[in-house]
Structure 1
Amino acid sequence: MILIFKANGYEIVVNTPTKAALLAAVAARFAEAEGFALATLNLDHLVKLHASARFARTYAAQDIVVADGNPVVWLSRLARRPVALVPGSEMVLPLAELAAQNGVKVALFGSTEESLKASAEALKIAVQNIDISCQIAPPMGFDPESDAAAAMLAELEASGAGLVFLALGAPKQEAFAARGRSLAPSLGFASIGAGLDFLSGAQTRAPKWVQVIAMEWAWRAAQAPARLVPRYARCFLILPRLLFDALSQR
């Protein structure tokens, strides 16, 4: 079964329940030289989905959606439609390895030039035979609906890449991926947020023991309280609504 969230008249479907299912779905796309858009759903995304019809429409256009956040996993269990935790930041290396095994070139998009350069070096060390064909760090204020974004999509396609890691953060990365599905349909887009910054060392993830006890959100909030405490407060406020929606799916 699949897990469904409804927001602004759209259905957001967690249609890929495990890491193995994700890798199988992407491998099938690689084999057919078909593009895709991968989104990693978390609680902050659900807040944004309910606040923005445009974001909900964009998210509904994603081909592959996984659960990137323990609250989504817990809600799936409450709905009796269980899915596993598949953090986007932890899928960078497995997806890069899958691309290398299938002879698919990789592009890096987002973050900063310094972080992309460091990420590319880290990927080359970690993944044998990886071919990184393009690295683009868009300027501040980047608009995924702009003419400049269309030109960048053309550049990515011309590079021969088949997999593009998007490190823009929501909602920009999902909007860019959705636009790419129409303007550059051969490209596979993986929205992985801070995944490249973690790889390059530009950002540091919570210690493993903090992740294991599902308290990474608290660790992150302590690192950047002004930015993240209000975000997490909004996440807590939407939980009753999401709990009701989960129960209604039983």
Structure 2
Amino acid sequence: MLERRVNLDGRAATADVPRITVGGLRMAALDLEETADFMIEATDPDSRIGRPLFLTSANGEVLARCSTEPQTERLFRAADLINADGQPLVAASKLQSWFPLPERVATTDLFHVVARKAEALGRTFYMFGASEAENIAAVANVQKMYPKLKIVGHSHGYLRGEELRAKVEEINALAPDYLWVALGVPNEQAFVKEFTPHLTNVGVIKTSGGLFNFLSGSRSRAPQWMQKIGLEWAWRTLLEPRRLLWRYLTTNPRALYLLFSRNRPLY
């Protein structure tokens, strides 16, 4: 597949990670704890590859967009590892594969597991994205939850041109082990593609979607029962109908089609 041809160093660094193709994208067949452990190991000095590892996540909307937006598909296939951030992806894999995805790896959950491990090991974070108010509130709450976690810097994501390039230089100089980028799909993936060559001192870049909104407290997550049966999208639509109703009406049917037509077992 395309990502195997163009991403040889990333392929070597993730060679031991089992994968399954779900909805047309190759997903890491790792659970939440295993994904966090992989991220921790990736920032060990002996594991670094001279550039940051690029981790991103996919849900039904992403599958639908990748199938209709060639540029978005290319951005996702450039990732070193893709996590399944959607319960329907997990359910579809269990119906069609002898080695399914073990569980949903939501970035909102993954952040906290990595933060606890990073706090214990002295690893460092940089939090980039969202609005200025959201970013500040998210960082403040994270520092309350994990008082020993080293957050070496943070910035809102509304930067362009020379201001953005200067911020990238600043991030690289701070050399965080983890750069959490919350700019939304596909802007955050495009950011990684453009600026990875300038972030050689960063260990791992993890795209984060709306993570900072949850960390700031401005948005609430769906009840657990809705998350478990794959209806978190419905909860989000109830909270933001004007922004999300049409999006899900157009992407959900296509995502369901892809989940049952473009899957392949572990390899």
Task: Give the AA of the match of 2:222.
Answer: A
CA deviations over 1:199-238 (Å, ceiling 9, x no partner): 1112122233332343221111122222212111222321
Q: After superposition, where does 1:91-240 map in structure 2 within 5 Å?
A: 91-139=110-158, 148-187=163-202, 188-238=204-254, 239-240=256-257
Change (3 A) 1:213 1:5: closer
Change (3 A) 1:131 1:101: same
Show the counterpart of 1:59. Answer: 76
Task: Quote the offset at 1:249 in angstroms.
Answer: 4.5
- Which of 224-233 and 60-69 deviates more? 224-233
Show the counterpart of 1:74. Answer: 91
Mapped to 2, the partners of 1:153 and 1:47 lie a distance apart of 31
Mapped to 1, the partners of 2:207 and 2:228 lie a distance apart of 23
* Partner secondary structure for residue 91 of structure 1: helix
2:58 to 35, 41, 49: 41
Mapped to 2, the partners of 1:185 and 1:77 lie a distance apart of 38
Give the aligned CA root-mean-square deviation in angstroms.
Answer: 2.2
Change (3 A) 1:224 1:107: same
What TM-score does the superposition give when structure 1 sets the normalisation length?
A: 0.87
Task: Give the AA of the match of 2:41.
Answer: A
* Partner secondary structure for residue 260 of structure 2: helix
Mapped to 1, the partners of 2:170 and 2:136 lie a distance apart of 18
CA deviations over 1:86-127 (Å, ceiling 9, x no partner): 111111111222222232221111111111111112111211
Task: Give the AA of the match of 2:180.
Answer: F
Structure 2 residues not aligned, in runs of 5+:
1-17
CA contact (8 A) 1:16 1:65 kept: no
Q: Which structure is higher in RCO with an 8 Å CA cutoff and minimum separation 6?
A: 2
- Which of 198-207 and 179-188 deviates more? 179-188
* Partner secondary structure for residue 262 of structure 2: helix
CA deviations over 1:31-74 (Å, ceiling 9, x no partner): 12632111111011111111222111111111121110011112
- Paired residues, what number? 241
Task: Indicate yes or no: 2:26 matched with 1:13.
Answer: yes
What TM-score does the superposition give when structure 2 sets the normalisation length?
A: 0.82
Task: Quote the offset at 1:18 in angstroms.
Answer: 1.1
Mapped to 1, the partners of 2:163 and 2:70 lie a distance apart of 24
Task: Give the AA of the match of 2:170.
Answer: E
Change (3 A) 1:115 1:236: closer
Task: Quote the offset at 1:79 in angstroms.
Answer: 2.9
Change (3 A) 1:75 1:134: same
CA contact (8 A) 1:96 1:127 kept: yes
Task: Indicate yes or no: 2:20 matched with 1:3.
Answer: yes
CA deviations over 1:181-215 (Å, ceiling 9, x no partner): 32213321111211111111121222333323432
CA contact (8 A) 2:237 2:245 kept: yes
Mapped to 1, the partners of 2:163 and 2:95 lie a distance apart of 43
Task: Give the AA of the match of 2:213.
Answer: D
Task: Quote the offset at 1:147 in angstroms.
Answer: 5.3
Mapped to 1, the partners of 2:73 and 2:188 lie a distance apart of 13
Change (3 A) 1:86 1:122: same
Mapped to 2, the partners of 1:98 and 1:57 lie a distance apart of 32
Structure 1 residues not aligned, in runs of 5+:
none
CA contact (8 A) 2:29 2:100 kept: no
